[in-house]
Amino acid sequence: MAASPLVFDTGPLSHFATAGWLGVLKAIVGNRGAIIPETVVSELQRGLQTNQRLQQVLDADWILHRPLTDTVELQAYSRYRSILASGNRNLGEVAVLAVAQTLPATAVIDDAAGRKTAQDNNISLRPTLTLLCDAIREGLLTLQLVSALADDLLASHYRLPFTPGGFEQWAIENNMFDS
């Protein structure tokens, strides 16, 4: 059975592009496929005003842009919007959850509220750090490479639960290398 596609929120994609690691993310995705809802596309387009590297995400031929079109998707979007959105905040997460639930697929969300909503609704979830640890366990990436990548994500102002140089210790403390 093929692994389910990954539906990405704006944060991971934007910080991988900013830090210059989008190619590594493509390798991690592999043949599962990467999807971004049109809401995430819109967020990335707005971000172009201050970060031209986001164009790499928008132009990547391995990332499928997917509008929410059918009734089930739109109902899921409406449900998650009522739970998670605050004005125009968290709309990317809302769309990711709707797509992940209805396909089904795996949501890639790092924000705590989005992760909790996915867990509360039994939506498959792989936060960025979990994907990176999966790639180490699978032999796709080395610990040293992911440590450098994590430091670069931190330098791009991505919020991670450790300081520069702290990925390995965090992963060990959280049993991320156990299968």
Q: Where are the domains of the chain?
A: 6-128, 129-173
* DSSP code string of the chain: -PPPPEEE-HHHHHHHHHHT-HHHHHHHHGGG-EEEEHHHHHHHHHHTTT-TTHHHHHH-TTEEEE---SHHHHHHHHHHHHHH-BTTBTHHHHHHHHHHHHTT-EEE--SHHHHHHHHHTT--B--HHHHHHHHHHTTSS-HHHHHHHHHHHHHTT---SS-TT-HHHHHHHTTTT--
Question: pLDDT tens digits for the chain (179 residues)?
Answer: 458 999 999 999 999 999 999 999 999 999 999 999 999 999 999 999 999 999 999 999 999 999 999 999 999 999 999 999 888 889 999 999 999 999 989 999 999 999 999 999 999 999 999 999 999 999 999 999 999 999 999 999 999 999 999 999 999 999 998 65
Alpha-carbon span 135 to 152, nearest angstrom: 17
pLDDT in tens, 55-95: 999 999 999 999 999 999 999 999 999 999 888 889 999 99
Neighbours of 173 (CB within 10 A): 11
> What kind of architecture, by CATH, is found in domain 6-128?
3-Layer(aba) Sandwich (3.40)
